[in-house]
A = this chain, B = another copy of it.
Amino acid sequence: MESKERITALRSLMKENHIDYYFITTSDYHNSEYVDDYFKAREYMSGFTGSNGDLLIGADFAGLWTDGRYFIQAERELEGSGILLFRMGEEGVCGITEYLTEHIEQGQTLAFDGRCVSIQMGKRLEKAVEKKEAHILYEVDYIERLWKNRPSRRASQAFLLPHELCGKNQKEKLELVRTKMEKLDCSSLVLNKLDDIMWLFNLRGGDVECNPVALAYSIITQKDCFLFLQKAALTDKVKEELAASSVVLKDYDRFNEELEQIPWEGRVLLDKENSNYSIYKLVEKKAEVVLGTNPTQKLKAIKNEVELEQMKRVYLLDSLVVCRFMRWLKENVGKIPMTELSAARYMDQLRRDTEGFLDLSFPTICAYRENAAMMHYQATTKQDKEIQAEGMLLIDSGGQYMGGTTDVTRTYCLGEVTAEMKDHYTAVVVGMLRLLNGKFLYGCTGRNLDILARGPLWDMGIDYKCGTGHGIGYILNVHEGPQNIRWRFSEGMEEVILEEGMVLSNEPGVYKAGSHGIRIENIMAVKKGIKNEDGQFMEFEGLTYAPIDLQLINPDIMEKRDILNLNRYHRQVYERIAPLMTEEEKNWLQEVTKEI
Complex contacts, A459 vs chain B, CB 8 Å: 439
B residues within 8 A CB of A260?
none
CB distance from A539 to the nearest CB of B (A): 10
B534 touches A445 (CB 8 A): no
Closest to A511 in B: B534
Q: Roughly how many angstroms separate A459 CA and B559 CA in the complex, as a whole number?
A: 16
- Is A226 at the interface (CB under 8 A from chain B)? no
The CA of A530 and the CA of B534, in the complex, are separated in Å by 38
Are A448 and B445 within 8 A (Cβ)? no
Interface residues on A, range: 20 to 34
Contacts of A452 in B (CB 8 A): 451, 455
Please, which residues of chain B bring their CB within 8 A of the CB of A252?
none
A459 to chain B, nearest CB (A): 5
Cβ-based interface call for A507 (8 A)? no
A404-454 contacts to B, CB under 8 A, are 438-441, 443-445, 447-452
Whether A455 lies near B443 (C-beta < 8 A) is: no
- Whether A535 sits at the interface, judged by CB under 8 Å, is yes
Is A487 among interface residues, defined by CB-CB distance under 8 A? yes
Residues from chain B with a CB closer than 8 A to the CB of A447 are 447-448, 489
Classify the secondary structure of A's interface with B. mixed
A449 to B487, CA, bound (A): 10
A465 — which chain B residues lie within 8 A by C-beta? 534
Shortest Cβ gap from A499 to chain B (Å): 14
- Per-residue contact bits, chain A 40-54, to B (CB 8 Å; 1 contact, 0 not): 000000000000000
A463 and B441 contact, CB distance less than 8 A? yes
Within 8 A of B (CB), among A243-290: none
Pick from B449, B450, B495, B559: contact of A559, CB below 8 A: B559
In the complex, chain B residues whose CB is within 8 Å of the CB of A560 = 559-560
- Answer yes or no: A313 CB below 8 A from chain B CBs: no
Taking CB atoms and an 8 Å cut-off, the chain A residues in 445-502 that contact chain B are 445, 447-452, 455, 458-459, 461-463, 465, 487-489, 495, 497
A-B residue pairs, 7 tightest by C-beta: A463-B534, A559-B559, A439-B458, A448-B487, A461-B530, A439-B459, A440-B458
Can you list 9 A-B pairs with a CB-CB distance of less than 8 A?
A438-B455, A438-B458, A441-B463, A443-B489, A445-B489, A447-B447, A461-B529, A461-B530, A461-B532
Show the binding face of A for B, using Cβ within 8 Å.
Answer: 438-441, 443-445, 447-452, 455, 458-459, 461-463, 465, 487-489, 495, 497, 529-530, 532, 534-535, 537, 559-561
